[in-house]
Structure 1
Amino acid sequence: IIPAGQPLPPQPSTNEIDSEALATVREVEKTARKLSLSELTERTCKWPIGDPATEDFWFCGLPVTPGKPYCEAHVAVAFQPMSARRDRKR
């Protein structure tokens, strides 16, 4: 969780994300629990969705992948192998 007043970590742009993972994320977000910051627990996905400066900002809230702060779909986007990132730069 990011302390108040601190910027959110940069998220990869959609052109840097594997298209299959991005499609999965979009489907998962349709069923997300849409939690506020105060509703998050150690078992809920903390992936931020939307602009924090608007009313339409929420967190995924689906069950997390063990040992990670995000659900399975968001882990696939957030934690990409170094080789995949290196290949995209070529």
Structure 2
Amino acid sequence: MIDAGATWTDERVELLKKLWTDGLSASQIAAELGNVTRNAVIGKVHRLGLSGRAKDAKPAASTATARPRKATRAPSAPAPLPPQPHPNNVVVAPIALQPVTQEPSVYIEDDLAVPVSERVTIMDLRESMCRWPMGDPTKPEFRFCGARSITGLPYCTHHARVAYQPVADRKRDRRLARA
């Protein structure tokens, strides 16, 4: 081990470079250098612009002696449950799981919800107007909704329903997505 100083001496930097290219982790290098933290090693590596390190600190094993990877397969469906006895000696078969079908989403077209006469450009937009963007911002036809906004919100009633979803609905949608 090298004499641990409080600064990065040329000798310590050279050892750091060697250990880094040998593939040692920052923690291992810090332990080898002594009197330096893992984060200090990482910072010095970045300041030195070091890259191109070995994949791991272990000696490279030949491909012939390396253990082959286990083939993976997709998980299978759960096995069906056998009928369960009922306390009254009635055999009750479990109900087969049905795939979850989501109600078709109904999207109200923005064009149908807001009359063209209410739409405004950015220059005509006022504090009490709905700021819902409509169309492609790169096109000259781009406008904002312009309908009367809800007090304290940037959107009208229609667009607030689209923009703000109640927490209960978000949690339900998250559970359905995981199933």
Question: Normalised by the shorter chain, which TM-score bucket?
Answer: 0.5 to 0.7
Question: Counterpart in 1 of 2:114?
Answer: 29
What is the rounded CA distance, in whole Å, between the counterparts of 1:77 and 1:41 in structure 2?
21
TM-score, structure 1 normalization:
0.66
Question: Which 5+ residue runs of structure 1 have no aligned equivalent?
Answer: 1-17
For residues 28-73 of structure 1, the C-alpha deviation after alignment (integer angstroms, 9 at most, x for no partner) is 2235611001111111000001110111210000001111111100
Question: Counterpart in 2 of 1:71?
Answer: 156
CA shift in 2, pair 1:62/1:32, >3 Å: farther
Percent identity, please: 31
- Is 25-34 or 55-64 further displaced after alignment? 25-34
For residues 10-89 of structure 1, the aligned pairs below 5 Å read: 19=106, 22-23=107-108, 25-30=110-115, 33-89=118-174
**Larger relative CO (CA 8 A, sep 6+): 1 or 2?**
1
Question: Which 5+ residue runs of structure 2 have no aligned equivalent?
Answer: 1-104
Give the number of aligned pairs. Answer: 71
CA shift in 2, pair 1:54/1:32, >3 Å: same
CA RMSD of aligned residues (A): 2.0
Q: Which has the larger radius of gyration?
A: 2
SS at match of 1:37: coil
What is the rounded CA distance, in whole Å, between the counterparts of 1:38 and 1:62 in structure 2?
15
